[in-house]
């Protein structure tokens, strides 16, 4: 081995009371720094759409497609998915059944990866588990994979519910905010990111990109993160209002969010919620927001700035493109040290430079 030890991973696993396993920064993180780049444990289609390659998930486009998938699925999995495609009409049922087939196939092909999947968070029983189990029992060709049972099916669905990331169809201006998911993936380490309504990191995917890693997800720091601080993602678009966020987190993830932003917004009247989030906090004192961020190094804990402690986040890090609402993070720092002044949106993919922001941090008109 050479004299210099391999660089430590930027995040490590920790147990945080009341939050379970979490990922925390192992050193002071620079804006844009790549915290994790990870290939999926498993991937499965989100719908029956046929505009992408069923193996590498890249868009088929109009020209000839060159599939860059490294590995072919087993014949059992290909046959099961083909049968599901021709027999299951409901798109959600189809997608969930594909998940189960892919997960059971993993049990046969890689017991260690399958154990990893089972070690992830999630134990609620999905009401559709019995239907999905009998669907798979009747359609999948023999021999059925190891452990195939109603209990295991229910356990797998619970893992999927809490841990799957959507790989999105490319953004289109006329989407009117409704973006489609092309595929879902389960990423073993990324599954340990907890949620914060004002995250300090966000994830990118480049499903139509070149190379074999197009289904990897890349998590980058939005701003500086001090050593030891928990790194969190937002489990949904940051511009959702308090009620929407709380409902989703309780129903789908089983917890009540007590983050700094929720502490402030729980006291807002419903009207406040809508006005502030739709108008991107334009009415607040932007100077106050900027100072708050500077003192806190851009961390998510600037609590003392009155009613709008997090307004700077919206001005600086939420994409203002119509129907987008993605999160902006700088490109990775060059040579690992110099922070880039180019921000990338994780939804529409647009790049913005410092010149696109006013001196007060607001975005200039385009």
Ligand X SMILES: C[S@@+](CC[C@H](N)C(=O)[O-])C[C@H]1O[C@@H](n2cnc3c(N)ncnc32)[C@H](O)[C@@H]1O
Site for ligand X, rule CB under 6 A: 18-22, 121, 162-163, 191-192, 194-196, 253-255, 257
Nearest distance from C-beta of residue 248 to ligand X, angstroms: 11
Nearest distance from C-beta of residue 197 to ligand X, angstroms: 8
Contact 95, 184 (CB under 8 A): yes
Of 95 and 191, nearer to ligand X (C-beta) is 191
Burial of 284 (0-12, 13-18, 19+ CB in 10 A): buried
Nearest distance from C-beta of residue 121 to ligand X, angstroms: 3
Nearest distance from C-beta of residue 351 to ligand X, angstroms: 29
Of 102 and 191, nearer to ligand X (C-beta) is 191
Nearest distance from C-beta of residue 332 to ligand X, angstroms: 24
Of 196 and 344, nearer to ligand X (C-beta) is 196
Interhelix angle 129-139/150-163, nearest 10 degrees: 120
Of 94 and 204, nearer to ligand X (C-beta) is 204
DSSP codes of every residue in 301-334:
T---STT-TTHHHHHHHB--STTT--BEEEPPPB
The whole-angstrom separation of Cα 218 and Cα 229 is 19
Closest CA to 292 of 315, 274, 275, 271: 315
- Measured from each CB, the residue nearest to ligand X is 20
Contact 176, 322 (CB under 8 A): no
Of 22 and 290, nearer to ligand X (C-beta) is 22
Residue 16: Cβ within 10 Å count: 12
């Amino acid at each position: 081995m050479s004299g210099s030890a391999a660089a430590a991973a930027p995040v490590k696993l920790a147990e945080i009371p009341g939050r379970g396993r979490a990922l925390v920064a192992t050193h002071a993180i620079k804006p844009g720094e790549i915290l994790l780049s990870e290939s999926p444990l498993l991937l499965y289609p989100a719908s029956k759409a046929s505009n992408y390659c069923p193996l590498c998930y890249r868009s088929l486009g109009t020209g000839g497609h060159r599939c860059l998938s490294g590995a072919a699925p087993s014949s059992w999995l290909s046959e099961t998915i083909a049968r599901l495609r021709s027999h299951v009409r409901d798109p959600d049922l189809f997608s969930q059944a594909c998940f189960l087939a892919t997960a059971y196939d993993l049990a046969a092909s890689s017991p260690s990866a399958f154990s990893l999947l089972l070690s992830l968070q999630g134990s609620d029983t999905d009401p559709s588990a019995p239907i999905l189990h009998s669907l798979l029992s009747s359609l999948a060709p023999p021999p059925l994979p190891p452990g195939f049972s109603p209990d295991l099916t229910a356990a797998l669905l619970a893992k999927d519910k809490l841990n799957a990331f959507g790989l999105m169809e490319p953004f289109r201006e006329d989407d009117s905010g409704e973006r489609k998911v092309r595929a879902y993936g389960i990423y073993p380490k990324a599954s340990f990111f907890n949620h914060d309504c004002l995250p300090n990191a966000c994830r990118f995917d480049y499903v139509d990109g070149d190379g074999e890693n197009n289904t990897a997800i890349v998590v980058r720091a939005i701003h500086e993160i001090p050593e030891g601080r928990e790194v969190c993602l937002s489990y949904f678009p940051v511009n959702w209002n308090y009620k929407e966020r709380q409902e989703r987190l309780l129903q789908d993830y089983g917890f009540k969010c007590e983050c700094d932003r929720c502490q402030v917004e729980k006291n807002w009247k419903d009207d406040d919620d809508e006005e502030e989030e739709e108008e991107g906090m334009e009415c607040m004192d932007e100077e106050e927001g900027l100072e708050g961020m500077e003192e806190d190094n851009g961390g998510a804990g600037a609590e003392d700035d009155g009613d709008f402690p997090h307004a700077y986040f919206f001005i600086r890090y939420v994409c203002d493109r119509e129907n987008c609402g993605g999160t902006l993070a700088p490109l990775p720092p060059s040579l690992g040290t110099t922070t880039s002044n180019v921000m990338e949106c994780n939804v529409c993919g647009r790049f913005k430079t410092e010149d696109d922001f006013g001196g007060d941090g607001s975005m200039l008109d385009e």
